[in-house]
Structure 1
Amino acid sequence: MARSISITSPYDKTDEILKNLENMDGIMQLQVIQNASVKPPGDVITVVTPNKHLQKLMRVLDGVGLGKKDGISILSSEPDSFIPTSSSFTVYRDDNESTWEEMEMIISNDSNTTINTLIIMTISGALATIGIATNSIHLVIGGMLVAPGFMPILRVSLGIVSRYERWHYGIWDTLKAYVTLILSAAVTAVILASLNYSPMVGATSYYIPDKELLEYWTTFTFPSVLASAVASVAGAILVATNKSVFTSGVMIGLALVPSAAIIGIGLVNEDFTLAGRAFLRFIVDIALVFVLPLLYLYWERSRSHKRDTSV
Structure 2
Amino acid sequence: MIVQLRICVPAALSGTVVDLCMGHAGSAEIAVFRGSSVVPAGDVITVQLARESVEGLMEELHGLRVPELGSVSASTPELVLSERADKASKEVPGEGSDAVIWDEVSRQTGEDSRLTWSYLAFLVIATQLAGIGIVTNSAIAIVGAMVVGPEFGPLAALALGLVERKWAMVRAAAVALAVGFPVAMLVTAAAAWISIPLGLYPRDVLDHGQAVEFIYHPGPYSLIVAALAGAAGMLSMTSHRSSALIGVFISVTTVPAAGYIGVALVLGEAGKAAGSAVQLFLNLLGIVVAAAAVLLFLKFAQRRGEAKRALSKTPAARARPGAPRPPRR
Same fold (TM over 0.5): yes
Find the counterpart in structure 2 of residue 80 from structure 1.
78
Match of 1:116 among 115, 118, 127: 118
Are 2:6 and 2:72, in contact at CA under 8 Å, matched by a contact in 1?
A: yes
Greater helix fraction, Structure 1 or Structure 2: 2
| 2:123 is aligned with 1:128 | no
* Match runs of 1:139-218 below 5 Å: 139-167=141-169, 168-198=171-201, 201-202=204-205, 210-218=208-216
Cα distance in 2 for partners of 1:67, 1:132 equals 50
Cα distance in 1 for partners of 2:303, 2:193 equals 50
User: Which segments of structure 1 move beyond 6 Å, counting only runs of 4 or more?
Assistant: none
Q: Deviations over 1:159-207 (max 9, x none)?
A: 222343422211111122212221221122123213323476438xxxx
Q: What letter is aligned with 2:250?
A: M
The two structures have a TM-score, normalised by structure 2, of 0.83
CA RMSD, 1 decimal: 2.4
Q: Which has the higher contact order (CA 8 A, sep 6+)?
A: 1
CA shift for structure 1 position 266: 2.2
Find the counterpart in structure 2 of residue 206 from structure 1.
none
Cα distance in 2 for partners of 1:191, 1:103 equals 43
| 2:268 is aligned with 1:265 | no
Cα distance in 2 for partners of 1:77, 1:221 equals 43
| 2:214 is aligned with 1:251 | no
| 2:292 is aligned with 1:289 | no
Provide the secondary structure at the position in 2 that maps to 1:6: strand
Are 1:145 and 1:249, in contact at CA under 8 Å, matched by a contact in 2?
A: yes
Number of residues paired by the alignment? 299
Find the counterpart in structure 1 of residue 48 from structure 2.
48
Whose Rg is larger?
A: 2
Q: What letter is aligned with 1:246?
A: L
Query: 215-224 or 225-234: which moved more?
Result: 215-224
CA 1:199 to 1:178, structure 2 compared with 1: closer, same or farther past 3 Å? Answer: farther
CA shift for structure 1 position 302: 2.1
- Structure 2: gaps spanning 5 or more residues: 307-329
Query: 111-120 or 169-178: which moved more?
Result: 111-120
Find the counterpart in structure 2 of residue 225 from structure 1.
223
Are 1:14 and 1:43, in contact at CA under 8 Å, matched by a contact in 2?
A: yes
Q: What letter is aligned with 1:41?
A: A
Provide the secondary structure at the position in 1 that maps to 2:7: strand
- Structure 1: gaps spanning 5 or more residues: 204-208
Find the counterpart in structure 1 of residue 64 from structure 2.
64
Are 2:97 and 2:240, in contact at CA under 8 Å, matched by a contact in 1?
A: no
Cα distance in 2 for partners of 1:36, 1:107 equals 32
Provide the secondary structure at the position in 2 that maps to 1:180: helix
CA 1:303 to 1:241, structure 2 compared with 1: closer, same or farther past 3 Å? Answer: same
Cα distance in 2 for partners of 1:247, 1:200 equals 35
